[in-house]
C-alpha cells in the first residue's frame, strides 16, 4: 500500500487527468452500460448511484456480480462536505477497499441530481498507465518460474529443519552419549541452513512475485544476497566451532586444519562487511 501511494502522489496530476478524461468519455447511463464500462476499463471494480438525499438508489454492480445489500443505505457521511455541481468529478484519497482488500480510490461524478460512484483498483489503474510493471505473458512465465523455484527451496528448508529436529529428538531419547557434541552441532547446522534457505525462498517470493510490480529497488538483489550470506556464514561458524571441539577432544594434530577453516570463515566475514559497506555507501550517494 505504501509503495502504491508513493507512486500515486508522484504522478497524481497525470493520474487525475486520465481519470477525468475517462469519466467524461463514459456513456451517460453508467448503470445500464456497466458491462461495457467494465470491459473497456479493467481497473473499475464497482459502480452504483446515490440520489440527492445521499441514499444509494441502485444495487452495487461489481465486475462479476450484483449485490443488493447496500440498496437504500445512507451515504451522507461521504457527501456532506462535497459541493459538486453538474458534471463535476471528485476523486477520493487512496484507501483499502473493504471488499477486495486492495488499494483503491473512489470517483464520484454528479449528473444533475444523481451521484455516480465508481470504485477503482489502483494496482490495475497504475498498470494501465504503465506506472508499474505491466503483466505480460513474459512476466507471467518468469513469475511462474520464481514461484516454482522458491517453493522447492521452501520445501527443502522444511526438510532440513525437520532433520535437525529429528537428530535432536534422537539424542534426547538415546541412552548413549557417544559423539554427543557432533550430533548436537549437526542438528544446529541443519536447522541454520534450513532457516537460511527458507529466508532465501521468502525473499525471492516477496521481491520477484508478490511485490515486484510495486517497486523497483535497484539494490534489492544485493540485500537479498547479503541476508543469505549472513545465514551461511553463521552455519559455517557453527561448523568451525564443531570441528575445533572435536579436535580438542580427540586429536590435536589436526588443529592446523581447524585454523585454516577458521581463517576462511573470518575472510568471509570481512568480505561480507565490505559488501554491506559498499551497498550502504551507494544508497547514501543516491539519496544525496
**pLDDT greater at residue 2 or residue 284:** 2
- This prediction's pTM: 0.51
Looking at the predicted structure, is the pLDDT value of residue 158 above 80? yes
Cell of 119: 470504485
Nearest Cα residue to 4 out of 131, 151, 100, 90? 131
CA distance 142 to 254: 48
Same domain (yes/no): 155, 277: yes
- What is the phi/psi pair of residue 66, to 5°? -125, 130
Which residues lie closer than 8 Å to 3 by C-beta, 6 or more apart? 211, 214, 215
Cell of 78: 461521504
Boundary of a domain, candidates 97, 128, 159: 128
Same domain (yes/no): 120, 155: no
pLDDT level of residue 150 (50, 70, 90 thresholds): confident
Same domain (yes/no): 208, 86: no
Look up the domain containing 61 and give its range. Answer: 2-128
Overall domain count for the chain: 2
Same domain (yes/no): 118, 221: no
Residues in a beta bridge with 110:
115
| Domain CATH for 78 | 3.30.450.20
| Angle of CA points 17, 92, 134, to nearest 5° | 55
Same domain (yes/no): 144, 263: yes
Same domain (yes/no): 67, 36: yes
Q: How many CA atoms are closer than 13 Å to the CA of 185, on its beta-carbon side?
A: 17
Same domain (yes/no): 274, 144: yes
**Per-residue confidence (pLDDT) for residue 134, from 0 to 100:** 54
- What is the four-CA torsion angle of 232, 233, 235, 236, rounded to 10 degrees? 120
Boundary of a domain, candidates 71, 94, 128: 128
Which residues lie closer than 8 Å to 47 by C-beta, 6 or more apart? 30, 31, 34, 37, 60, 61, 116, 117, 118, 119
With beta carbons less than 8 A apart as the criterion, state whether 44 and 118 touch: yes
Per-residue pLDDT of 87-126, as tens digits, reads: 889 999 888 887 777 889 999 999 888 899 999 998 888 8
Boundary of a domain, candidates 128, 163, 189: 128
Same domain (yes/no): 103, 161: no
Residue range 10-29: average pLDDT?
88
Percentage of the chain exceeding pLDDT 70: 81
Residue range 250-276: average pLDDT?
77
Amino acid at each position: 500500500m505504501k509503495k502504491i501511494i508513493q507512486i500515486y502522489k508522484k504522478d497524481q496530476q497525470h493520474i487525475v487527468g486520465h481519470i477525468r478524461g475517462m469519466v467524461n468519455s463514459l456513456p451517460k447511463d453508467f448503470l445500464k452500460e456497466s458491462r461495457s464500462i467494465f470491459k473497456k476499463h479493467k481497473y473499475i471494480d464497482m459502480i452504483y448511484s446515490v440520489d440527492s438525499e445521499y441514499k444509494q438508489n441502485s444495487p452495487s454492480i461489481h465486475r462479476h456480480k450484483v449485490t443488493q445489500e447496500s440498496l437504500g443505505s445512507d451515504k451522507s457521511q461521504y457527501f456532506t462536505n462535497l459541493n459538486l455541481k453538474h458534471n463535476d468529478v471528485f476523486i477520493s484519497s487512496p484507501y483499502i477497499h473493504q471488499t477486495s482488500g486492495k488499494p483503491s480510490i473512489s470517483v464520484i461524478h454528479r449528473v444533475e441530481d444523481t451521484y455516480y460512484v465508481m470504485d477503482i483498483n489502483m494496482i490495475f489503474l497504475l498498470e494501465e498507465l504503465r506506472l508499474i510493471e505491466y503483466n505480460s505473458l513474459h512476466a507471467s512465465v518468469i513469475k511462474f518460474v520464481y514461484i516454482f523455484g522458491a517453493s522447492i527451496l521452501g520445501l527443502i528448508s522444511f526438510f532440513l529443519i525437520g532433520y535437525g529436529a529429528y537428530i535432536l529428538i534422537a539424542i534426547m531419547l538415546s541412552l548413549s552419549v557417544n559423539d554427543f557434541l557432533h550430533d548436537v552441532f549437526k542438528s544446529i547446522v541443519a536447522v541454520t541452513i534450513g532457516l537460511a534457505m527458507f529466508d532465501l525462498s521468502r525473499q525471492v517470493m516477496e521481491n520477484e512475485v508478490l511485490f515486484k510490480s510495486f517497486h523497483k529497488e535497484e539494490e534489492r538483489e544485493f540485500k537479498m544476497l547479503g541476508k543469505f550470506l549472513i545465514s551461511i556464514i553463521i552455519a559455517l561458524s557453527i561448523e568451525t566451532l564443531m570441528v575445533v571441539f572435536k579436535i580438542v577432544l580427540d586429536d590435536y594434530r589436526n588443529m592446523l586444519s581447524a585454523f585454516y577453516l577458521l581463517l576462511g570463515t573470518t575472510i568471509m566475514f570481512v568480505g561480507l562487511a565490505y559488501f554491506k559497506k559498499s551497498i550502504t555507501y551507494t544508497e547514501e550517494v543516491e539519496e544525496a
